[in-house]
Homo-oligomer: A and B are copies of this chain.
Amino acid sequence: MSQQSTEHGTAGVPDFPDLPEATVARLPEYLRALHAIADSGVDVVSSEDLAAQAGVNSAKLRKDLSYLRSNGTRGVGYDIAQLTSKIEHVLGLHQHRGVALVGVGNLGHALAGYDGFGSRGFHIAALFDADPRRVGERINGMVVHHVDHLAAVVLKEQIAIAVIATPAHAAQKVADALVGCGVTSILNFAPCVLSVPDNVDVRKVDLAIELQILSFHEHRKASLTALPGGRAAAAGNQEAVGS
């Protein structure tokens, strides 16, 4: 959990709500759902419809949005434009953010070429790799820099968010270099734990861990169905638990 989600947390910061980490993680889902609904030409949405589109239950959605002081209008629903703007503001998406990507192997290459970031508030602003054979390569029109030039480029481009897609053994050194030149948020795809100072936020995505969690559920369901008449009890997760 984030350290700001204590009882007093960010209370007193003008215009900045105190949010549990789980709520923060759901706001992007609501945003995606709002965009999808707006695309269908509608201006107002009920909490039930928005919740269904976002894949959460509607009581949870209403609770989450009440933290933003967005309670909707009883019997009418939420104004889509207003709520979209509010969530975008809280997520800091009014400012299009440049992201540094370190490691352009298979996965990094795919991330560098992913064109879904632009519409969601981000662009890959700089690419780095330690392999001299990759340096100078162009991906999506951007040139790959040597990781030794990290500080110069990150400072020049005023980058605060970085993605690490290096092998595990290289990730901590890269994280240290990123933190050293002012990066304060890291998305880590390397299968290892990073040590960072308190003011740096790290999220990680480990694909094998996601599969191992699903394996647990397969094992659990198999154990339940092995019981006499157990099949009915083997209910899975209706709601996606990832992110």
Chain A residues close to B by CB (< 8 Å): 1-4, 10, 13-16, 19, 21, 24-25, 27-29, 31-33, 53-55, 90-93, 95, 97, 99, 106-107, 109-111, 113-114, 116-117, 120-122, 160-161, 163, 184-188, 191-194, 196-224, 227, 234-243
Residues in B neighbouring A220, C-beta threshold 8 A: 4, 10, 16, 92
CB pair B208–A207 under 8 Å, yes or no, is: no
Minimum CB–CB distance for A89 against chain B, Å: 8
Cα(A23)–Cα(B201), bound, Å: 21
Question: A135 CA to B63 CA in the complex, in Å?
Answer: 47
A203 to B213, Cβ gap below 8 A?
yes
Known: A2-B237, A187-B214, A202-B240. 8 other contacts (CB 8 A): A14-B223, A21-B241, A28-B209, A92-B216, A107-B111, A198-B236, A202-B237, A204-B243
List, sorted by A's number, 29 A–B pairs whose CB atoms are closer than 8 Å: A2-B236, A3-B238, A10-B223, A16-B219, A16-B224, A27-B216, A28-B212, A31-B212, A32-B191, A32-B192, A32-B209, A106-B113, A107-B110, A107-B111, A110-B110, A111-B207, A116-B207, A116-B208, A117-B208, A120-B211, A121-B211, A188-B240, A188-B242, A196-B236, A196-B238, A198-B238, A202-B240, A204-B240, A213-B243
